[in-house]
């Protein structure tokens, strides 16, 4: 009887603990999703000034007027989306390609100074992003004089140290025997990279693609610095045009934010399987 009561007590305690964990996770999920929910709901409101907006969790009526207002507000609304797409895709492709090549070099190619160079790159990761903005701005604007161009938006982030580090750590787990067999068959370094390393690294490449696209698409500060005409602004910078000195068109701004979030949702859910594999890689051995 005592053994049964003890077993029942353990099951009850385990049930209570699991219930508390589930409740906490649900609260955390709601807190995370609520801003997205509020953004979408607000985008269906009337395109009126912020002072006249009726803020509520569930709007009294749904209308697409704010979306129409967003595209009618400026002739550059579509251009903002196109600029963001060009910049984000270019940065994503260049990062995946160059970071994969650099990761392969640091993990599988023996060359003089490899450890020192990789240590320098790791030290560069510790420098705050804001510290490099002033010298980078001077370099782009005063020396190269390429302000307000796609080059100015893309060139500073062609490849990031974080992606190189991510690729290097993943490729270090690829057995060297595979590469030695390829070399015996007469494969060059480029053939090994494109025919063996890249197919085996699809998971980490997908993770780099998702993270890089999301970061570039959401970036506001750098495009704001190097663009001075509306036709070169990205969507994140373009949304500030709905805010004036005395008022803000809140619902159209939320409509633009909702539209700008769609590509990230599409990219994430299309590559979700690879992203989840990338998160859990290395967690289980054997």
Question: Do 171 and 32 have their domain in common?
Answer: no
Q: Is 48 within the bounds of a domain?
A: no
If one counts the domains in the chain, the total is 2
Question: What is the span of the domain harbouring residue 239?
Answer: 75-280
Return the closest-CA partner of residue 122 out of 157, 158, 161.
Answer: 161
Question: Do 117 and 183 have their domain in common?
Answer: yes
Which string of b and e fits 140-150 if b means at least 16 CB within 10 Å?
bbeeeeebbee
Q: How many CA atoms lie within 13 A of 39 on its CB side?
A: 15
Q: Is 59 within the bounds of a domain?
A: no
Q: Is 149 within the bounds of a domain?
A: yes
Q: Is 285 within the bounds of a domain?
A: no
Q: What is the dihedral of CA 258, 261, 263, 265, to 10 degrees?
A: -110
Question: Do 37 and 177 have their domain in common?
Answer: no
Return the closest-CA partner of residue 259 out of 90, 88, 81.
Answer: 81
95 and 163 Cβ atoms separated by less than 8 Å: yes
Question: Do 38 and 79 have their domain in common?
Answer: no
Q: Would you state the pLDDT for residue 18? A: 85
Q: Where are the beta strands (DSSP E) in the chain?
A: none
260 and 175 Cβ atoms separated by less than 8 Å: no
CATH code, 250: 1.10.3720.10
Question: Do 180 and 128 have their domain in common?
Answer: yes
* Pairwise CA distance, residues 183 & 171, whole Å: 17
Question: Do 252 and 147 have their domain in common?
Answer: yes
Residue 232: both structure tokens together: 């070169």
Q: Would you state the pLDDT for residue 241? A: 81
Q: Would you state the pLDDT for residue 285? A: 42
Q: Is 65 within the bounds of a domain?
A: no
157 and 140 Cβ atoms separated by less than 8 Å: no
> Would you say the C-alpha torsion 268, 269, 270, 276 has a positive or negative sign?
positive
Question: Do 16 and 139 have their domain in common?
Answer: no
* Pairwise CA distance, residues 89 & 83, whole Å: 10
Q: Tell me the helices (H) and strands (E) count for the chain, helix number first.
A: 15, 0
Question: Do 97 and 25 have their domain in common?
Answer: no
Question: Do 126 and 267 have their domain in common?
Answer: yes
Q: Would you state the pLDDT for residue 7? A: 58
Under DSSP, the state recorded for 248 is: B
Question: Do 39 and 125 have their domain in common?
Answer: no
Query: What parts of the chain have a pLDDT lower than 70?
Result: 1-9, 49-55, 244-246, 274-286
Question: Do 79 and 39 have their domain in common?
Answer: no
Q: Would you state the pLDDT for residue 284? A: 42
Question: Do 125 and 38 have their domain in common?
Answer: no
Burial class (CB in 10 A: 0-12, 13-18, 19+), 278: buried
């Amino acid at each position: 009887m005592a053994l049964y009561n003890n077993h029942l007590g353990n099951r009850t305690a385990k049930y209570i603990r699991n219930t508390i964990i589930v409740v906490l996770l649900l609260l955390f999920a709601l807190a995370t999703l609520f801003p997205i929910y509020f953004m979408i709901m607000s985008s269906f409101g009337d395109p009126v000034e912020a002072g006249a907006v009726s803020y509520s969790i569930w709007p009294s009526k749904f209308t697409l007027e704010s979306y129409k207002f967003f595209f009618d507000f400026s002739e550059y609304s579509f251009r903002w989306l196109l600029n963001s797409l060009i910049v984000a895709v270019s940065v994503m492709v260049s990062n995946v390609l160059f970071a994969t090549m650099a990761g392969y070099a640091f993990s599988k190619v023996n060359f003089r100074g490899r450890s020192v160079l990789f240590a320098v790159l790791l030290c560069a990761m510790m420098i705050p992003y804001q510290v490099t903005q002033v010298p980078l701005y001077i370099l782009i604007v005063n020396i190269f004089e390429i302000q307000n161009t796609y080059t100015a938006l893309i060139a500073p982030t062609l490849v990031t140290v974080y992606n190189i580090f991510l690729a290097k750590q993943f490729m270090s787990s690829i057995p060297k025997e595979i590469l030695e067999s390829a070399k015996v068959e007469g494969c060059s370094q480029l053939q090994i990279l494109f025919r063996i390393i890249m197919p085996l690294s699809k998971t980490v490449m997908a993770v780099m693609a998702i993270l890089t696209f999301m970061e570039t698409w959401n970036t506001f500060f750098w495009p704001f610095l190097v663009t001075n005409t509306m036709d070169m602004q990205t969507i994140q910078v373009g949304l500030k045009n709905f805010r004036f000195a005395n008022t803000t068109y809140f619902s159209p701004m939320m409509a633009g934010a909702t539209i700008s979030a769609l590509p990230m949702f599409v990219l994430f859910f299309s590559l979700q399987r690879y992203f989840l594999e990338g998160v859990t890689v290395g967690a289980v051995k054997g």
